[in-house]
Amino acid sequence: MEQERIIRTEYSDVMQKSYINYAMSVIIARALPDVRDGLKPVQRRTLYDMHELGIRYDKPYRKSARIVGDTMGKYHPHGDSSIYDALVVMTQDFKKGLPLVDGHGNFGNIEGDGAAAMRYTEARLAKITQEAFLSDLDKDVVDFIPNFDETEKEPSVLPVKIPNLLVNGAEGIAVGMATSIPPHNLAEVIDATKAYMKDENITNRELMKYVQGPDFPTGGIVCNKDDLLEIYETGQGKIKIRGKVEIEKAKGGKVNVVITEIPYTMIGANIGKFLQDVAALHETKKTNDIVDISNQSSKEGIRIVIELRKDADAENFINMLYKKTRLEDTFGVNMLAIADERPETMSLKQIIKHNVDFQYEVNTRKYNNLLEKELEKKEIQEGLIKACNVIDLIIEILRGSKDRAMAKACLVEGKTDGIKFKSKESKIMACQLCFTEKQANAILEMRLYKLIGLEIEALIADHENTMANIYRYEDILARKDAMAQVIMNELDAIKKEYGVKRKTVIENAKEAVYEEKKLEEMEVMVLMDRFGYVKSIDMPTYERNKDAAETESRFIVKCKNTGKVCLFTNKGQLHTVKVLDIPFGKFRDKAIPIDNISNYSSDVESIVSVASQTELNLYRLIFVTKLSMVKIVDGGEFDVAKRTVAATKLLDDDEVISVEVMGDQRNIVMQTKEGCFLRFPLEEIPEKKKAAIGVRGMKLGAKDTVENVYYTKNAIDSTIDYKGKALELNKIKLGKRDSKGVKVRT
């Protein structure tokens, strides 16, 4: 038994090497496409497996589960979901400019609904995939490499005849890098490729005469045309895309804004998000123009209808959609792909150059292979024609030979030993025969019907055709311009059959500008009940329902609808809420939990006081805590932009029990849990910053805490109900701050 060897090494070195190996594996063999065929490994393997299974465009569909299972077992040892997801995307005409797979069944839709399970759907290769991606695989045009367990062979790249990386685009996230290439129009890309082949010094600017810009399957409008040149020169940048919007007149003088094309970035769940965003514009009072929203999209195309009121400014509303929703969005471009086995960010010209170089390489191998086969045919055809001229001699050799080897030796080397001839002349002629090995085998395997006159004529015609092919193939291989013409002819044929009109409009659109209607400022009353549900009503409504409002509400705050409401909590926090975020309506309209529109959480804190921020700026606040800490704070300190700040500093186990706006009060009365009352002048409470703890208001017993706080005014009686009896606060002896107070007995 071999002795175990332990290799000691630095842990960080092992981790570094392992991570780099993993990262390179993800970059090269999983996440990024190859610039030559524009495919990721999972896509390439799936298409090749379908080709091997014979699932051609003119054959019946096969279950997706069969394709996925076969691909996973032979070529792609990863999860079945990743293979099926790749298969699904290759069928979706709203994601791919040129779908590579013909799907049958539910393969998802543009609104984000997923495909059915692979056991329900069926697929087969698209016609263009068969003709332009896989057709030359049998001509030794690309290298085949072992699969993961070395039991099968797979192509390292598919012999794609078009710059598929541009036509279908690509998206992928690797380790430390990502690719995002938009789809383009097939006809335009082919024209640009031909232009490059005619002039390899062509610039990106000149190429853009052919490739105007991206051509998204969803259409839409690219509205920053002037930025495209820099994007195509550097391989990076941002493309602004907008949906296509039409204005239609509706019944009753109303106007419908109809979205017929969406930005490419909106496909999927973002359509639902867009509808929610439009609804939110109405709910948050950003616009009052919306009457109704409906998604009338179908297989025929996108149709999202927004019904506006009669006097609405439709153009201004559309500009608001561009600004406030994803109807105008940004597509980030990073044209990163694998070139020469390394990731590289490429310009438009570089991508086309790599593809053209690949076409020359593929076609060189293709025509070398075809030439070799034609030369073999020529050799055999010449042998058969020659044999037909001396067929009587050959028959005599065959009849006189004891076995095949003796006859073959005579045909190839002119050996006549052991062969019986009818005459010496035949033997002399047989000695002069010098057929090649292949010719001799062909003669020996030739059937008698080949000696019919018409068959001999056909053989001669085939030979002439073979010679013409040889001359043509040699010419193609010898002259670059001849091969270029062959490639361009193939591109023209593909363009003629599969080229379609551009869907995306390229233009320099004006920046969307909309006039936000100024909110009419007015006074409102904010009502909050004891459960924390809040709403706002206008002043006339409040006056009509004043008694009910005061009975049902815990807090009532008068403020401007453009202002903020401040919530002070027992944990010493201040939460601010915009009044516009609070539902406004009728008195009996439904309120919403304050938790929904602020950072306040009823699970961990409780509201002590509610005030208008405008009011706070004019007054000072009195803070009192459970452990008897008191202070006065200038209300201006709470005019903050943040939604949540600390309103005061607290001791351990302490909490705020009262925050009062300071007006014409003169004395403060603090009541403890055990029944002690202390009344003293407010002048004795010092003014502090909000970050201060404050000073002690009254001395407490060992386990006593402040329970309630009251305020009195001079010459005004103030009576409270204390344990069922009336207690006049002004009759409590006036004491000093930080004293014990008096015990009130009941």
**Side-chain half-sphere of 648: how many Cα atoms within 13 Å?**
32
**Secondary element (H or E) of residue 393:** helix 391-400
Average pLDDT for 638-657: 91
Confidence of residue 715 (pLDDT cuts 50, 70, 90): low
Q: Kindly state the tokens that stand for 240.
A: 């602004």
The reply to whether 541 and 608 lie within a common domain is yes
- For residues 624 and 658, is the Cβ–Cβ distance under 8 A? yes
Tell me how far apart the alpha carbons of residues 117 and 560 are, in angstroms, rounded to a whole number: 56
Confidence of residue 213 (pLDDT cuts 50, 70, 90): very high
State yes or no: pLDDT of 2 exceeds 70.
no
Average pLDDT for 618-639: 92
pLDDT of residue 746: 62
| Strand blocks (E) in 58-210 | 62-63, 101-104, 122-125, 144-146, 153-155, 170-173, 178-181
State yes or no: pLDDT of 297 exceeds 90.
no
Please state, as a whole number, how many other Cβ atoms lie within 10 Å of the Cβ of residue 35.
29
Q: Which domain holds residue 662?
A: 523-743
- For residues 307 and 250, is the Cβ–Cβ distance under 8 A? yes
Average pLDDT, the chain: 89
Tell me how far apart the alpha carbons of residues 496 and 178 are, in angstroms, rounded to a whole number: 34
Is 34 inside any structural domain?
no
Average pLDDT for 418-440: 80
Cα–Cα separations (whole angstroms), residue 641 to 453, 521, 564, 612, 638: 102, 20, 10, 14, 9
State yes or no: pLDDT of 1 exceeds 70.
no
Please state, as a whole number, how many other Cβ atoms lie within 10 Å of the Cβ of residue 642.
9
The answer for residues whose C-beta is within 8 angstroms of residue 102's C-beta and 6 or more apart is 57, 61, 91, 123, 124, 125, 126, 127
Number of structural domains found in the chain:
4
Is 349 inside any structural domain?
no
The reply to whether 484 and 580 lie within a common domain is no
pLDDT of residue 451: 65
State yes or no: pLDDT of 513 exceeds 80.
no
User: What is the CATH number for 281?
Assistant: 3.30.1360.40
Average pLDDT for 140-160: 93
Q: Does residue 533 or residue 7 have the better pLDDT?
A: 533
Specify which residues 727 forms β-bridges with. Answer: 720
User: What is the CATH number for 624?
Assistant: 2.120.10.90
Average pLDDT for 138-152: 92
Average pLDDT for 586-592: 87
pLDDT of residue 509: 81
The answer for residues whose C-beta is within 8 angstroms of residue 481's C-beta and 6 or more apart is none
The reply to whether 446 and 541 lie within a common domain is no
Last residue of a domain, one of 482, 498, 514: 498
With tokens 């401007």, the residue in question is 560
The reply to whether 584 and 667 lie within a common domain is yes
The model's pLDDT over 25-50, given as tens digits with 9 standing for 90+, comes to 777 778 899 999 999 999 999 999 99
Confidence of residue 516 (pLDDT cuts 50, 70, 90): low
State yes or no: pLDDT of 688 exceeds 90.
yes
Tell me how far apart the alpha carbons of residues 255 and 265 are, in angstroms, rounded to a whole number: 27
User: What is the CATH number for 390?
Assistant: 1.10.268.10
The model's pLDDT over 92-118, given as tens digits with 9 standing for 90+, comes to 999 998 999 999 999 999 988 899 999
Is 186 inside any structural domain?
no
Is 183 inside any structural domain?
no
DSSP 225-273: GGGHHHHHHHSEEEEEEE-EEEEEE-GGG-EEEEEEE--GGGSTTHHHH
Confidence of residue 454 (pLDDT cuts 50, 70, 90): low
Confidence of residue 328 (pLDDT cuts 50, 70, 90): very high
The reply to whether 487 and 618 lie within a common domain is no
**Secondary element (H or E) of residue 382:** helix 348-389
The answer for residues whose C-beta is within 8 angstroms of residue 19's C-beta and 6 or more apart is none
**Side-chain half-sphere of 139: how many Cα atoms within 13 Å?**
20
Confidence of residue 517 (pLDDT cuts 50, 70, 90): low
pLDDT of residue 520: 75
Q: What are phi and psi of 151, to 5 degrees?
A: -105, -15
Last residue of a domain, one of 104, 130, 159: 159
The reply to whether 148 and 98 lie within a common domain is yes
Q: Kindly state the tokens that stand for 42.
A: 């999972």
DSSP 613-680: HHHHHHSEEEEEETT-EEEEEEGGGG--SSSEEE-S---TT--EEEEEEESS--EEEEEETTSEEEEE
The model's pLDDT over 237-254, given as tens digits with 9 standing for 90+, comes to 999 999 999 998 888 778
- For residues 612 and 557, is the Cβ–Cβ distance under 8 A? yes
Q: Does residue 131 or residue 313 have the better pLDDT?
A: 131
The CA-to-CA distance between both ends of the chain, in Å, stands at 97
pTM: 0.74
pLDDT of residue 196: 96
pLDDT of residue 163: 95
Angle between helices 391-400 and 404-413 (to 10 degrees): 140
Q: What are phi and psi of 661, to 5 degrees?
A: -75, 130
Confidence of residue 334 (pLDDT cuts 50, 70, 90): very high
List for the chain the helix, strand, coil content (%; round to 5).
Answer: 40, 25, 35
Is 9 inside any structural domain?
no
pLDDT of residue 241: 95
The model's pLDDT over 57-106, given as tens digits with 9 standing for 90+, comes to 999 999 999 999 999 999 999 889 999 999 999 999 999 989 999 999 99
The reply to whether 602 and 691 lie within a common domain is yes
The reply to whether 377 and 305 lie within a common domain is no
Q: Is residue 72 classed exposed, middle or buried when 0-12, 13-18 and 19+ CB atoms within 10 A define those classes?
A: buried
Cα–Cα separations (whole angstroms), residue 536 to 518, 523, 589, 661: 19, 10, 9, 21
pLDDT of residue 409: 85
Catalytic residues: 120
Cα–Cα separations (whole angstroms), residue 451 to 296, 378, 382, 456, 458: 73, 18, 15, 6, 11
Q: Kindly state the tokens that stand for 217.
A: 């399957």
The reply to whether 467 and 550 lie within a common domain is no
State yes or no: pLDDT of 460 exceeds 90.
no
Q: Does residue 273 or residue 189 have the better pLDDT?
A: 189
Is 237 inside any structural domain?
no
State yes or no: pLDDT of 283 exceeds 80.
no
Is 429 inside any structural domain?
yes
Kindly give the pairing relationship between strand 644-646 and strand 629-634: unpaired
State yes or no: pLDDT of 514 exceeds 70.
no
pLDDT of residue 4: 78
The reply to whether 609 and 690 lie within a common domain is yes
The reply to whether 487 and 529 lie within a common domain is no
User: What is the CATH number for 93?
Assistant: 3.90.199.10
How does 724-734 read in b/e, with b if 16+ C-beta sit within 10 Å?
eeebebbebee
Is 733 inside any structural domain?
yes
The reply to whether 684 and 600 lie within a common domain is yes
